[in-house]
Amino acid sequence: MKNQMKLSALTLAMTMAALTTSSLQAAEQTAGKDANNEEIEKIAVTGSRIKRADFEGVAPVTVITAEDIANSGLSSIAEVLQASVANTGGSLNGDSDGFTDSASSVNLRGMGANRTLVLINGRRQASFPSAAGGTSNFVDVSDIPTAAVDRVEILTGGASAIYGSDAVGGVVNIILKKQYDGAKVEAKYSDTTQGGGAQSDLSYLQGINTENSQTLIMLEYRKVEAIQTYQRDGLYSPAYYEDEDGDTRWGSGPYGDSSPSSWASWVRDYSKVYTDDKYSPLDEAQCTNLFGDKGIYVEAGTYDCYYDKYAERGLQSEYDRINLVVNSTYDLNDDWQLYGMLNASYKESTKYKDEKGFGDYFYQDEVTGAYSYDKYEFEDDNKFQMRRRMEEYPGPRTYDTQNTKASLAFGANGIIGDYELDVSWSSGYALYEKQNHHMVSADALLGMITFDPNNTDASKWYPNNKLTTEQAEALIGDSTKKSDSSMHQLQAVFTGDLMELDAGTVGFATTAEWARESYEDTLDETTMSGGFIGMGGTGGKGDRDRVAVAGELQIPLLADITGVKSLDLSAALRYDQYLDDSDVGGATTPQVGLSYRPIEEVMVRANWGKSFRAPDMHRLYSGLTRSFGSTSFDHPTIPNEIYEDSYDGFNSGNLNLTEEEGEFWNLGLVANITENADLTVDWWNIELEGAVKTISTDEMLEDPSYNKDGQYTDCSTMPEVGYLTEFDDDGIQNIACMRKGPINSAYEASEGIDASFNYVFPETAAGEFKFKLAASYLLKKEYQEREGDEIEEQTETDYFPKWKGNASLSWSYEDFRATVAYYYTGEAVGTDLFEYVDADGEDVESIETDTLDPYQTINITLSYYAPWKGKFTAGVKNLTDEMPPLYDIRNDEHNDWPYYEDDNSSYSAKGRSLFLGYSQKF
């Protein structure tokens, strides 16, 4: 276990060239003998549990080392993963709205963040407690401390035969540092040139080593400031202008035509009970009095007083985060070792929002004067409507979150005879708490509202008047969410050499696992009951157990004959059994691969297998929510009339879901062209059937199998997706209620070509130079809602860039280092509604194609190693101050905040930033 690894010059060159598809995984050492009777080390590679002496296997693996991360100019592991050429789909970037504020994800091959398996030190992590979009579970990568990462390994393609569920698009294995000699303190500061987004990092690394043990302790603190829209002139730039009719208007955004919100303050008295006109707009003085600089008074508009809703919206959240990593090993003897790892983090994040705006209808009893939101509560009523921004609420409106995460792993590995055994236990826990501030209490509003502008009762509030402090305090409320998740796993891996063949040694690995995952997503009672206007949600709770067994073989078929340096077969088979209330049951996944070397320096590889994914926990166990839906169709008895059909809607998880089933293959070439250069090319394909999606109303109505008449009488207790009908007073059959939820239906596929080239220049008097290049081309990205539907090519409709790449040139001379890193995201094509005036002066509305320009950034990192064990670092990120590409001005999306395709995590509105750092070793 203490053997030294002896590398050839070729291996050394490959190791130095990062971002290749070689994979050097930290692993316990098992010695063998090469042809020269020299000791070599067998290593475990992500994508296989069999240790081998070769860096390359049948599956392509990209390695990003700590040095690469430091030289990249990227400031977080989330950014590193999102910059990877394999991350080709939409993923969360830590600043999204909705269910997952402050969390980040990675989406390999565009197959979905929930279909990318994320490991730390080869072990599963607890999912982020709150599902993305209220549906999809994923692992948050925003809280992984950069200072503690030794390297990141990215396996692209399916790997369910090795790891089980989730490894459909690929596997990300984040390897934390295991040991360190001495201590190191590091500080870094960066700030943007456009304003906002300043970041401060401070870390302490301590190694404690004895004759039999190695312990690493790392503590990291990070503070990041917010970026708000007003700090980005290219995305804000408000101004008054004169339109083609000579009227004064106000606009903002890149094209200056992003309109202010009409939800400032206005009242409609439909029956003119209290006013002579149905509309009661504000005048200019009232507009300024209520909203200050955010009040936009435009007499040419319908409502006169408008609201600037863009300035304070957050483009980047602010947060404080602290991380602790403890990694320790203890050698019991020459054959056995104990190990343990603790990784914990706490993060507080704030997302800035424009002030709460809401609108609703009110009904007043003509007899008593009481108000209600329900028009059926009174026999005779007067109808009113209001819209209002709650500018009187104190302080800025924010969404605040607190993320707590802890994972613990411990185990033992050692030698039993000629074999190696590793037994480990790992536990992970995540807690997510969120407070949506400045909500409006529905009950309090109903108690104080009046639509009589002349009402002098001090307890009543007319919406066009300013709220008193007491009224604002009565209305304001916080919608809260508390979610937690856990993952526990017991794993045993038994591996070694099985037998000797003429071509070499047969290696094997067997794995047995037991795991339990659980989650609970809880909203406060007021939110759950609809007590805040315009705010709703659903909770959920569930757990499931899994047991699995797996086996792998690596068989040398031929070696050292004419035309064949080596021909190896890799095979794996895994069975997972899910013990829960769903219909998943068991899943068997095979994988077979061949690697052929005509000569030592060239390898041709092929790999095929199946993958699967168990349904997201939230899609299985989400709680029941009620809503009111509607649809319309041609009236069955009255020609040219439309029948409006309203129904009660119920939505919840679906325990009838089965696993998603995938298939993948890749063909590749690895060539060590010279001692200083290597090249890889891989052609890959992934397909997924039975992907889980939420069925729409129209889809359900088009399929008669969803009509559950005669089977059930109540949608709220109906255990499956479907609808019930009833007859109205005219004898027309319509929808009584509908039970919605997720189903296994969709088909997805992704196919592309990856390539990398790395070159270490011959040493010169001016220093050493290294060049690295990686690129991926997406041949297709297909999606089909359900069998029989037209297959959608998402590279033509959904702004999936076909090209993604990165390159770097590094220089070192004595104590100086410099790296120039280049990141490229190709043009993205999509379809949207276009609105414009054609050459004949006609107004045109049509679905047309839009093309987003390529997005390119350049980072420069400089460093100097001082003789007193200090290191100075400085650089610039996004040298050219590149901003995200914009939609065509004719595109209906062009003036919608934030004005760019924010589903693509490669794009950033941060702009140029400068950084400076210093570290000191002791």
* DSSP per position, 773-806: EEEEEEEEEEEESSTTSPPEEHHHHB---SEEEE
pLDDT-wise least confident of 240-254, 382-396, 585-599: 240-254
**How confident is the model at residue 11, as a pLDDT?**
32
Q: Are 227 and 221 in contact (CB under 8 A)?
A: no
- Whether 628 has a pLDDT exceeding 80, the answer reads no
The per-residue pLDDT for range 489-500, each reduced to its tens digit, is 999 999 999 999
Average pLDDT of the segment spanning 112-132: 88
Least confident among 46-50, 253-257, 626-630: 46-50
Q: 521, exposed or middle or buried, with CB in 10 Å at 0-12, 13-18, 19+? A: buried
**Mean pLDDT on 708-731:** 89
pLDDT at 801 over 60: yes
Mean of per-residue pLDDT scores for the chain: 88
Query: By C-alpha distance, which of 404, 479, 532 is closest to 99?
Result: 479
pLDDT of 28 above 60? no
Among 517, 516, 535, which Cα is nearest to 525's? 535
Region 684-705: what's the mean pLDDT?
A: 87
Residue 174 predicted with pLDDT over 80: yes
Phi then psi for residue 422, to 5 deg, are: -125, 120
Closest CA to 424 of 119, 764, 638: 119
Query: What pLDDT is stored for residue 550 in this prediction?
Result: 96
Q: What is the CA radius of gyration of the chain?
A: 31
Residue range 270-313, pLDDT digits in tens: 999 999 999 888 999 999 999 999 999 998 767 889 999 999 99
219-233, 614-628, 672-686, 900-914: the lowest-pLDDT one: 614-628
Nearest to 75 by CA among 227, 216, 198, 218: 198
Most confidently modeled range among 61-65, 104-108, 680-684, 732-736: 680-684
> What is the structure's pLDDT at 57?
76
Q: Are 161 and 573 in contact (CB under 8 A)?
A: yes
154 pLDDT higher than 80: yes
H helix intervals, 34-192: 66-72, 77-83, 160-163
Q: What's the pLDDT at 273?
A: 93
Residue 33 has pLDDT above 70, yes or no: no
Provide the 10 A C-beta neighbour count for residue 631. Answer: 16
More confident site: 37 or 298: 298
List the structure tokens of 244: 């083609």
> What integer pLDDT is reported at residue 94 of this predicted model?
60
Residue 69 CB neighbour total at 10 angstroms: 22
Residue 595: pLDDT above 60?
yes
pLDDT above 70 coverage of the chain, percent: 92
The confidence score (pLDDT) of residue 19 equals 28
Please give the Cα distance from 73 to 829 (Å, whole number): 29
Phi and psi at 630, nearest 5°, equal -155, 155
Query: CB under 8 Å to 342, separation ≥6 — which residues?
Result: 324, 325, 326, 327, 406, 407, 408
**Of the listed ranges 408-417, 688-697, 798-807, 895-904, the one predicted with least confidence:** 688-697
Question: Mind listing the pLDDT tens digit for each residue in 750-770?
Answer: 999 999 999 999 989 999 999
Is there a contact between 235 and 221 (Cβ–Cβ < 8 Å)? no
916 and 188 Cβ atoms separated by less than 8 Å: yes
In terms of pLDDT, which residue wins out, 723 or 702? Answer: 723
Cα separation, 592 vs 569, in Å, equals: 7
Judged against a pLDDT cut of 80, whether residue 91 lies above it is answered with no
Is the pLDDT score of 62 beyond 50? yes
Query: Is residue 822 pLDDT above 70, yes or no?
Result: yes
Cis peptide before 867 (omega within 30 of 0): no
Average pLDDT for residues 776-780, to the nearest whole number? Answer: 95
Least confident of 117-131, 450-464, 817-831: 117-131
CB contact at 8 A, 792 and 784: yes
Q: What are phi and psi of 218, to 5 degrees?
A: -130, 130
pLDDT value at 25 more than 60 = no
pLDDT(743) > 50: yes
The answer to whether 848 and 854 are in contact (CB under 8 A) is no
Q: Are 39 and 191 in contact (CB under 8 A)?
A: no
Could you tell me whether strands 642-651 and 733-740 are parallel, antiparallel, or unpaired per DSSP bridges? parallel
14 — pLDDT class (breaks 50, 70, 90): very low
Q: Is the pLDDT of residue 386 over 90?
A: yes
Give the residue from 622, 528, 517 showing the smallest Cα distance to 576: 517
Q: Please give the DSSP secondary-structure letter assigned to residue 762.
A: P
Residue 365 confidence (pLDDT): 93
In degrees and rounded to multiples of 5, residue 71 shows phi and psi of: -85, -15
Q: What is the pLDDT of residues 339-355, one digit of tens each?
A: 999 999 999 999 999 99
Read off the pLDDT of residues 407-433 as tens digits, 9 standing for 90 and up.
999 999 999 999 999 999 999 999 999
Query: What pLDDT digit, counting tens, does each position of 367-380 carry?
Result: 999 999 988 889 89
Retrieve residue 608's tokens.
Answer: 């095929």
Distance of alpha carbon 166 from alpha carbon 159, whole angstroms: 9
Residue 16: pLDDT over 60: no
| Residue 54 pLDDT greater than 70, yes or no | no
d(CA 873, CA 864) in angstroms, rounded, equals 7
CA dist list (Å): 130 to 321, 351, 754 = 19, 16, 33
Q: Which amino acid is present at 132?
A: A
The answer to whether residue 873 scores a pLDDT higher than 50 is: yes
| Contact call for residues 830 and 892 (beta carbons, < 8 A) | no
**Residue 20 scores a pLDDT above 70:** no
d(CA 270, CA 267): 9
The answer, as to whether pTM is greater than 0.85, is yes
